[in-house]
Amino acid sequence: MVISSASASAASILVLICLSKSSWAFTNPSRNARFIKSHLAYSASDLLYEDQQKAKARRADEEQRLLGTNIKPLLAKKIKQVPVKRGSGFGAGKRDTRTPSQRLAVQQAKIMSKDGVMRIDNVLDGETCDRMRVHVLRQQELADVETAKNAALSEDYYGVENRRKNRCDLLLSLVSGEEDEDDITLDVLRNVLGEEGTLRPIYEELVSNDGEFYEFAAVITNPGSDRQQIHPDLPHRNEAPLYVIFLALQDITEAMGPTTFLLGTHTKKERSKFDDSQMKDEQLANAKSRLALLKKGDAVLFDARILHCGNANEEEGGSTRAMFNFSFRNPKESGSLGYCGSMRPGYVGKISLGDVGAALEQHKNGLLSPFSKLGDGLSC
């Protein structure tokens, strides 16, 4: 009989438990049996999880080798301004009443359709990024305290992937807590999604005001976090189901583990290759890989179907990487997406892009807490 390393380790733990609790075993055998059984199951589960993570790390290293050294930085594309139709004279057609930012959004949407990802520079000013970064890291500390007291809250604060080493998705609150000195979250949302927000036009173009606010979080990695396997975020859909933002709250160096994107892999044809074990490695070896080495305040917008991965945040030379992360769902795709977004449970399915804009307009007109009716989004 072959005994796996996980089983052998779990068996060793069982022996240690039995020896350390031998006297108790004779005085209360039924309770001791339950104690041993629960600890054995917990230990075996942890060991299995560790084995799975090691296997994923080995595959991630192999994928990095396949991508090779020909990985280029992801750059913001230069977009030519389209001449405005004046609409004068017979047969001149309708006058173009769109704003410059709305016309730009149309061109950006064409890039998204072709590449599945694009870089947008200067989305948020440096001072606001600094304040948001301090806020995010403080919220992470508070979340750690709360989940240490009550492990059942882990998914409320960190979502379903809450056991990853030195990497987390911290689910954020839309309302300020007592510990918050200012309304930095509202400031950030107003700057990017308000009436004059830097990202409002492109989201209106891609998902309309009916697009569901699907994710609201911060992606945080620390030195020692492993490289991820290349993956899409969700099962393939005919239409882009989700448009995601990663906004850098500090400059991102290569040692900090920036995200790699494989251009054009959001299509059905490319997903078929990725899902075929005979074609996958060749696909990766021939991919147009781009590395998101962002400056503070720059952002990456991507179609959630695109293949991508976070790189390792190195023990030496790396540092904490905090990314403001949100997304909106395309109303053209209905039903389950097969993907739980990084959003506190109390907010799921309750807010649209139009709702966010309306709330921010209320705040502009003097309402201090426009999202207060939604609360902190926690399940309890």
Contacts of 142 (CB under 8 A, 6+ apart): 177, 179
Q: What is the pLDDT of residue 8?
A: 46
**Helical axes 184-193 vs 126-149, angle rounded to 10°:** 130
Q: What is the pLDDT of residue 91?
A: 58
The CA dihedral of 31, 34, 37, 41, to the nearest 10 degrees, is -130
Q: Give CA 325 to chain center in angstroms.
A: 6
CA dihedral sign, ordered 236, 240, 242, 246:
positive
Q: What is the pLDDT of residue 10?
A: 44
Q: What is the pLDDT of residue 28?
A: 53
Mean pLDDT, residues 274-301 taken together = 97
What are the phi and psi torsion angles at 58 (to 5°)? Answer: -65, -45
Mean pLDDT, residues 29-33 taken together = 54
pLDDT at 40 over 90: no
| Structure confidence at residue 93 as a pLDDT band (50, 70, 90) | low
Mean pLDDT, residues 306-326 taken together = 97
| Structure confidence at residue 114 as a pLDDT band (50, 70, 90) | very high
| Structure confidence at residue 246 as a pLDDT band (50, 70, 90) | very high
The CA dihedral of 149, 152, 153, 158, to the nearest 10 degrees, is 110
Mean pLDDT, residues 115-123 taken together = 98
Mean pLDDT, residues 302-317 taken together = 97
Of 44, 38, 34, 39, which Cα lies nearest the Cα of 16? 39
Alpha-carbon gap, residue 22 to 230, rounded angstroms = 48
Q: What is the pLDDT of residue 233?
A: 96
Q: What is the pLDDT of residue 332?
A: 96
**Helical axes 5-20 vs 29-67, angle rounded to 10°:** 150
Q: What is the pLDDT of residue 239?
A: 96
**What SS3 class is residue 161?**
coil
- pLDDT (tens digit, 9 = 90+) per residue, 163-211? 778 999 999 999 988 667 679 999 999 999 999 999 999 999 999 999 9
Alpha-carbon gap, residue 380 to 375, rounded angstroms = 11
Q: What percent of the chain has pLDDT over 90?
A: 75
Mean pLDDT, residues 17-21 taken together = 43
